[in-house]
Amino acid sequence: MHALDRGRSLALSSGLEGPADLSPLLRSLGLEVVPWRFAGRVREVIIEGAIGIDDRLSPSWTRWLTAHAIGHRLLHTGTSLYLESWQWVNRVKAERQAEEFAAGLLLPTTPIRFGGSRILAARCGIPEPKAAWAAGLLDEIAGA
């Protein structure tokens, strides 16, 4: 759970709580989100200091994919891209780490009682499928 802890640590040091604006954090990391109309399956890509995110995505998906890309940037070298909604369950270590980092960055850093994934998604400004996955991840950690 190193990636989750790194995301939480960055959230605490950056003063992020709830659906806070990620722009100050992006600036401090030398990153910029660039809306882009991707063709095909590409939804997110990070190259050097630019995070390209498909401009047709909802704000909650843009927020999640931004955090995911920050995770790749801080945890991995090279470039990364997010293709399809099914990719989040991919067993590839780097993808799992970026997802855990995003959860650590965007979910509350203090213990909370979940009122369901819809409430968690609204509270954190993230997509409901990611809130459901993250709640399961946090339950897994609590049971460990």
Q: What is the mean pLDDT of each run of 10 residues along the chain (144 residues)?
A: 90 85 95 94 89 96 96 76 52 82 86 73 92 82 64
Helix (H) or strand (E) holding 53: strand 50-54
CB 86 within 8 A of CB 70: no
Torsion angles phi and psi, residue 33, rounded to 5: -85, 130
What residue ranges do the domains of the chain occupy? Answer: 2-143
DSSP H stretches of helix in the chain: 2-14, 23-28, 59-75, 93-106, 117-124, 128-143
Q: Which CATH architecture has domain 2-143?
A: Orthogonal Bundle (1.10)
Q: What are residue 53's DSSP bridge partners?
A: 35, 44
Q: Please state the pTM of the whole predicted model.
A: 0.85
